[in-house]
Amino acid sequence: MANRPQILTDMQVSFCGSAGDGTIAAGDIFKRAMAEAGYQIIAFDVYPPEIRGFGKCIARTRVTFDQVYSLKPQSDVLLSLDDSHAIPHVGEVRDYGAVIYEDRPMATVEEGEHMSGHLKPAQLPYGVSFRELSERATSGARFRNIVAVGFIAGLYGLPRDLFHRTIGRKFAGKPAEVTESNIAAFDLGYDDGAKTFQVDINGFGPPPKRKKSEKVLMMHGNSAVARGCLSAKIDTFFGYPITPATSIMEILAKEMPKRGGRLLQTEDEISAVAAIVGAGFTGSRSATSTSGPGLALMTEVMGLGSIAEVPCVIFVSQRGGPSTGMPTKTEQSDLNLAVRGVAGDAQRIVLAPTNVEGCFKCAGIAFEIAEKYQTPVIVLLDLYLSNRYEAVALPNKNPFKLDATKWAKKPGKGDAYQRYKLTPDFISPRAIPGQQGMQHTITGLEHNELGRPNDQPAMHEAMSHKRHEKLKTAINYPNLTTSKRFGDKGRVRVGVLSWGSTFGECLEAMITVRKQGITCSAMKVVMISPLPVDEISRFMDDCDVVLVPELNYEGQFASIVMGTLGRPVHRLNRVTGTPMAVNDIIEEIQILAADKPKRRKAAE
C-alpha cells in the first residue's frame, strides 16, 4: 500500500457504462481483487434487459475494513465508461469524491454530453485517456474497462500483483494472449494512475487480518445457494431458465455431475416442479429454481407435494412484477404467492435469507427441513440478493445433515404399512418405493392412513390437522436462526421488523439512528411460514412503534404480521426496482421517534 495517511477503509466504487463496454467485468475484477486482499465486500450489479450496446450497466462495490450490511447511499468513486449513462449518477458521488472519465472521446461530443460539464463543485475530476491507453497496450480500444481498473488501482496505491492474479484467474482457460493483453492494459492504466496526484484524502487502508481457519470466498447469493445444495448432497435438480434464478441451475449443471448428481433442463416450470415431487417421492434430495412467473405455474403441483407429504425444495428469486414485469429489477412482491399461493389449505415452509452467507445456510438446511417435515420448502430470495456479492467465511466442516428422514420400520406380519399414520408428533414414518413390505398409495386426493382416497369429514379434519401441526415445531429447528434481534435491548422508541435482502439496509439505518440518540432495535425474520409469532410478539412488546420496510407496493409482510398477531405496524413500501435506500429508512425512523403518539393512532 502507498505510504500516506489512511483512514480505516470504507470506500464505494461505481463503474457505469453501456452494455458491451465491459462494465460488469471491470467491477468483477475489482471486487474479487479486494476480497482476496482481505477486505469485507458488498457488491451489486445492475444490468439491462436490452441487447448489447443499448442498456445501462452499473457495478457498485463497497470495500470496508469492518463488516457492513448494505451499499452506501453515495459512492466515493464513479468511473464512467459511457458518459450518457454515467451523467445521471454524478449526484450519487459524495463531496470530495472522485469522478473518473474519458478525456479524449473518439469523436466530438455535443454540448452538455461530456462528463466534465456535469461535475458538482466539490467533486474531484480525473480525466483519463482510456481509449488511447488501451490502443497503446493492445492495438485496440476494447480493453478500456481494464485500463480503468488499472487507473483506480494505481491512483489509490493498491497492489499491482493482486490484480494480475485476479485477471489471470478470470481469463483462465482462454488463450494466453487474452490474459497478457488484459494485464498489459491494466498496467498502462495503473502507471497512469500512480503518477496522478490523489486529491481525495480517503483511500484504502491495510486490510484486516483474517483467521487462518476461515475459508473466505467471494460469491453472490445464487452461487451460495448452489454451494449449499452441493454441501447438502443434492441428488437431482430439474429446472427451466428464468431471470434472476438461472445461474443457480448453471452452476449446478457444471458441478453436480462431478459428484454423481443429475440435472435436467425441463420444457417448462410445471414439468420441473412435477419432476422434483416425483424425485422426492423416491427418496432423492431434489430441487428446482425459478422466479415469480414460474412459481405461479408451480402452485398446483406444490399442493400435490403438500397433501402427498413429499419433501422437495424450490428456490425462488423475486423480480419486479406482476406477470413478466421487470426481469432485471429487484422486488419483494412474491411473498403472498410463496406463503399462500395454493389451492386449499396447504401450508408450506418458507425461508427468506437476509445475506449471502444466509443463502448458503438456508439452501442446505432446506433439504433437512423438507425431509424431516415431509413437505415442500421454498427458499425466497430476490434479484438484489441473488446478484449481490459478499466475502463469505464458510465452515471447514459440512454443517448439514445428509439424512433427516423419520424412516418407517417394516410392519409386522399381516399388518399394512400406514404411510400417513397419525402420530403424536404428526410426522408419519416414511418409506420409499421398493422397500419390502411397505407398499403404499399416494394421491392428490384426500386419503386415510394407508393413503387410499377417503373424503369423510372426520378423516379430512384429522389429515388437515396433521399436515399443519407438524410444521409448527419447524420454528425451533436446530442450527436455523428463524428470527434474531439486533441493537438496543429492552424498551425502544422504534423497532424495525424486516425480512429478506432489505434487512441489511434496515441494520445500517438502525446503527445510524442509534448514534443520533434514538433508541432502536431491528429484528430479522428468516422463517416466514410458519411465522415465529412468539419471538415477533416479544419484540413488538418492547417497541413504542414498529416499522416494516419492504420492496413491494402492498406491504405484504406487514399484512402477514398484522393479520397473524392482530397488532399495528407502520409500512414503508418502495417499488423502484432498486434496493431500499438506507436514507429512506433513517428518515422514517426519525419521524416515528419524534411523533410516536400521533403515528400510533394513525396506524390503529
pLDDT of 431-453, one tens digit each? Answer: 999 898 899 999 999 999 999 99
Reported as a single tens digit per residue, the pLDDT across 185-228 is: 999 999 999 999 988 888 898 887 766 655 678 899 999 999 99
Considering the four listed CATH numbers 3.40.190.80, 3.30.60.50, 3.40.50.10490, 3.40.50.970, the one that applies to the domain covering 217-394 is: 3.40.50.970
CA distance 342 to 16: 42
The predicted pLDDT at position 391 comes to 84
DSSP letter at 211 equals: -
Using an 8 Å Cβ cutoff, are 132 and 158 in contact?
Answer: no
Please give the CATH architecture assigned to the domain spanning 10-194. 3-Layer(aba) Sandwich (3.40)
Average pLDDT over residues 356-385: 98
Residue 249's identity, in one-letter code, is M
Reported confidence tier of residue 181, pLDDT bands at 50, 70, 90: very high
Average pLDDT over residues 498-514: 97
Please give the CATH architecture assigned to the domain spanning 483-603. 3-Layer(aba) Sandwich (3.40)
Looking at the chain, which residues constitute the CATH 3.40.50.920 domain(s)?
483-603
Q: Average per-residue pLDDT in the chain?
A: 93
The predicted pLDDT at position 1 comes to 41
Looking at the chain, which residues constitute the CATH 3.40.920.10 domain(s)?
10-194
Using an 8 Å Cβ cutoff, are 422 and 415 in contact?
Answer: no
The predicted pLDDT at position 146 comes to 97
User: In terms of residues, how long is the chain?
Assistant: 604
**pLDDT at residue 509 above 70?**
yes
> Dihedral of CA 470/476/480/481: which sign?
positive
127 burial (CB, 10 Å; 0-12 / 13-18 / 19+) is middle
The predicted pLDDT at position 597 comes to 53
Looking at the chain, which residues constitute the CATH 3.40.50.970 domain(s)?
217-394
Which residue reads 410445471 in cell numbers? 270
The predicted pLDDT at position 600 comes to 46
Reported as a single tens digit per residue, the pLDDT across 22-73 is: 999 999 999 999 998 989 999 999 887 755 556 899 999 999 988 889 999 9
Q: How far apart are the first and last CA of the chain?
A: 56
Reported as a single tens digit per residue, the pLDDT across 403-414 is: 999 999 989 888
Reported as a single tens digit per residue, the pLDDT across 526-555 is: 999 999 999 999 999 999 999 999 999 999
**pLDDT at residue 420 above 70?**
yes
The predicted pLDDT at position 235 comes to 98
φ/ψ region of 370 (left if φ > 0, alpha if ψ in -120 to 50, else beta) reads: alpha
Going by C-beta distance under 8 Å and a sequence separation of 6 or more, which residues neighbour residue 226?
247, 248, 251, 252, 255, 363
Reported as a single tens digit per residue, the pLDDT across 68-97 is: 899 999 999 999 999 999 999 999 999 999
**pLDDT at residue 598 above 80?**
no
CA distance 112 to 259: 57
The predicted pLDDT at position 4 comes to 44
